[in-house]
Amino acid sequence: MNRAKADCIPLLPVEELARRRRRHESSVGDIWTLLDDVMDPEIPVISLYELGVLQDISRDGDTVKLVLTPTYIGCPALGIMEEDARAALTAGGYAQVTVETRLAPAWTTAWLTPEARRKMAEYGVASPEAGGTTCPQCGSANTEVISEFGSTACKSLFRCVACYEPFDVFKAL
């Protein structure tokens, strides 16, 4: 089933719906808000929450517990994301932090919101679309793949045939 078709009303995957519900019904809404300032180190215009990496937050006494999920297995950025989240919490007055890495449900690009996709495109990284990849510079749909494995584990390298600019594409996963 293809949930991400551009020409139909976007449906939220159930895992993503559950994640949003965890945030909305959370008793630690201020911590979620605090962490909205922690950006993906490789695409620093979308937050860990928007990326889908930040899965849950809970609090037990003085200890804040974060649940993160990796995008790619070998993604070296997960360690940096964890450090950045810890630093933001420490600065916000939460010194005791534990981080759990949860693998299931497995992260997917289907969780990226239209808003996150728009921010990524403005930053120069195209996001995977069912209807084909469009150039983030000029909007042309006339693009070709240079390499399926780009500058980081999560990106492919494309080239725009219309404006000749090479650009990164977030791999569909």
Partner 1 sequence: MKLDDPLTRYVVRLGDDALIMGHRLSEWMSRAPFLEEDIALSNVALDFVGRARLFYQYAAELMGGEVTEDSFAYQRDVRDFTNLLLCELPRGDFAFTLCRQFLYDAFSLPFTQALCQSADPQLAAIAAKAEKESQYHLRRSRDWMLRLGDGTAESHERCQNALEQLWIYTDEIFECDELVDDLVAAGVAVDTRSLRSVWLETVTETLHAATLVVPEAQGAVTGGRDGIHTDDLGFLLAEMQFMQRAYPGLKW
Of 33 and 140, nearer to Zn ion (C-beta) is 140
Min. distance of Cβ 171 from Zn ion in angstroms? Answer: 19
Strand ranges inside the chain, DSSP E: 54-60, 63-68, 96-101, 125-126, 143-147, 155-160, 166-170
**Residue from 140, 142, 148, 162 binding partner 1 (CB under 8 A):** 148
| Alpha carbons 64 and 73: distance in angstroms, whole number | 25
Q: Does 150 bind partner 1 (CB under 8 A)?
A: yes
2 to each of 11, 107, 127, 131, 158, how far by Cα in Å? Answer: 10, 16, 16, 11, 23
Q: Which of residues 101-140 bind partner 1 (CB under 8 A)?
A: 103-108
Cα–Cα nearest to 155, from 138, 143, 167, 137: 167
Q: Does 126 bind Zn ion (CB under 5 A)?
A: no
What DSSP element (H or E) covers 15?
helix 14-24
Q: Which of residues 36-95 bind partner 1 (CB under 8 A)?
A: 70, 72-76
Q: Does 151 bind partner 1 (CB under 8 A)?
A: yes
**Residue from 12, 99, 153, 163 binding partner 1 (CB under 8 A):** 153
Of 74 and 139, nearer to partner 1 (C-beta) is 74
Of 12 and 157, nearer to partner 1 (C-beta) is 157
Q: Which parts of this chain interact with Zn ion (CB under 5 A)? A: 135, 137-138, 140, 160, 162-163
